[in-house]
Chain A
Amino acid sequence: MDFDALLLSRLQFAFTIAFHIIFPSFTIGLASYLAVLEGLWLTTRNEAFKTLYLFWIKIFALSFGMGVVSGVVMSYQLGTNWSVFSAVASPVIGPLFAYEVLTAFFLEASFLGVMLFGWKKVGPGLHFAATTLVAVGTVISAFWIIAANSWMQYPEGFTTLADGTLRATDFWQVVFTRTFPERLTHMLLAAYLTTALEVGGASAWRLLRNAADPESRIALRMAIGMFAIVAPLQLFVGDLSGKEVMEVQPAKLAAIEAFWETRTEQPFHVAAWPDRAIEGNRWELSIPRLGSWITAGDAQAEVKGLKDFPPEDRPPVAIVFWAFRVMVGLGVAMIGLGAWGVWLIWRSGGPERHPLYLRAAILMSPMGFVAVIAGWIVAEVGRQPWVITGVLRTRDAVSPIGAGEVSASLLAFMVVYAIVFSVGVLYILRLIAEGPRPVPAQDTEPPLKPRPPGYALGAAPDDPEGGPR
């Protein structure tokens, strides 16, 4: 095993997961959005909700398919590139992935069929049940995947056997690790925000062309409601998660904040250039004492710096520091977008009359994905040099393969993903640009019966309101 194969394997995993995470983070939120739309249509019979449902379900089906395809690649890579990790840890976290397939994926896959092909066949009530079950399935899927990842961040409920492999001693402790509740909540809220930004951006795009479009007006207001409620909640949950990180992964927190010295009254670095070579920041723009207050809730609190940890146990600092700032900066922008939108609804007749707001919503529409990827960089690069914190180092987890083999597969992934996902994403963007269209009458009603020869009203015109057919 040489270093190049390790680095290439890490790059390959990072590349494939960065693609994959886009789709589940969208479909988790979109499935719930579809359930809300269908529920609202059933209770109010407002046709706009049905039109929106039929529009977004197409995008959901495409995104779900691409999420499944890109997710299968992830599990294969655990065997091909990370076989030592699989051999060591699969007795503990293998069942979590298996339960994800058995409980979540099958639930989603089963009722997606009803959702797509069965509305007339099963009727509105059972169809709504199917949509709700798919939405529940996406949440259960996130539950198991975040449980596995949280265990890798802070492993509990296991023992190490003489041969170096791990065994679970307490299954529920493996599932419900200390950081799991905050991390699951953080991920789900991120998914809901990502979807709200997409829905809001797509609606804003159409409202710029037609400010009276009824479906887009409703969808944009629903998205603004989500920004206004979920974005501040996300900030709160993220803060709780950060405080857990300080307790269980202090080196990661020190990298997030570019703290090098252990001290009280840590400053908050708004921007900095952390450099591991000099064990410090080459330059920094800081606010005194705010770092201790944000991380520990007390401006006088002592917070550990990176120099408290041996150099071989420190994560890369600059990438974690900047990824965190991108994530938080976008989160603050989402809060601003929500507050601005609520103000426009409340005081100035609606956001659809304000092109500047609509353009801002369009600009923000991909930022949920950027924030999710930045968040995963913080979580995964911040855990380095460990693949399982304190148990297995990343360099020891890689398969005994050569750099040439990994280079070939990485190149193949890049080419195939560039083609397959470009086509998929372009098609989704085209659908979004077309926008929701009210369902034509011929699609919702049975076809007209042919008139028999000699029928008395054979020459009468068709009357969709119930006249002769």
Chain B
Amino acid sequence: MPAIIEPPPGPQEPLPPLWKRLAWFVGLAVAASGATLIVAYGLRALLK
């Protein structure tokens, strides 16, 4: 089973191109923010 928490790439492992790394960086950040937003607004909706 792969590790849930992703370890760093190995020393010989080639990195993806910069545009792809930046896209993952922004994508993961936005997805995490989105998940937080959904939980936050969901909780607020429960109060109404």
Contact = CB atoms under 8 A, between A and B. Distances in A.
A and B pair up: yes
Interface stretch (A117-125, A195-203, A352-360): A117-125
B5 A57 contact: yes
Nearest to A79: B47
B33 A109 contact: yes
B36 A54 contact: no
Interface centre among A121, A127, A130, A444, by most B CB within 10 Å? A121
B8 A121 contact: no
A118 B4 CA distance: 10
A105 interface: yes
Contacts of A127: 8
B10 A118 contact: no
A119 B36 contact: no
Nearest to B37: A106
Interface in B2-48: 2-10, 12-13, 15-16, 20-22, 24-25, 28-33, 35-36, 40, 43
Q: How large is the interface on B (under 10, 10 to 19, 20 to 34, 35 or more residues)?
A: 20 to 34
Given A105-B36, A123-B21, A113 B5 contact: no
A126 B6 contact: no
Given A123-B15, A126-B22, A117 B29 contact: no
A290 B15 CA distance: 63
Given A117-B28, A122-B25, A110 B33 contact: yes
Contacts of B5: 54, 57-58, 61, 116-117
Contacts of B20: 121
A342 to B, nearest CB: 32
Nearest to B30: A110
A122 B8 contact: no
Contacts of B16: 121, 123
Contacts of A72: 43
A203 B45 CA distance: 45
B6 A117 contact: yes
Contacts of B24: 114, 118, 121-122
Contact of A118 (B13, B15, B25, B43): B25
26 contacts: A50-B8, A72-B43, A101-B40, A106-B33, A109-B32, A109-B35, A110-B29, A110-B30, A110-B32, A113-B29, A113-B32, A117-B5, A117-B28, A119-B7, A119-B8, A119-B9, A120-B7, A123-B9, A123-B16, A124-B8, A126-B22, A129-B25, A130-B25, A444-B8, A444-B9, A445-B12
3 interchain residue pairs of minimum CB distance: A113-B32, A444-B10, A121-B24
Given A113-B31, A116-B5, A444-B9, 11 more contacts: A72-B43, A111-B32, A113-B35, A116-B4, A116-B6, A121-B20, A122-B22, A122-B25, A126-B25, A444-B10, A445-B13
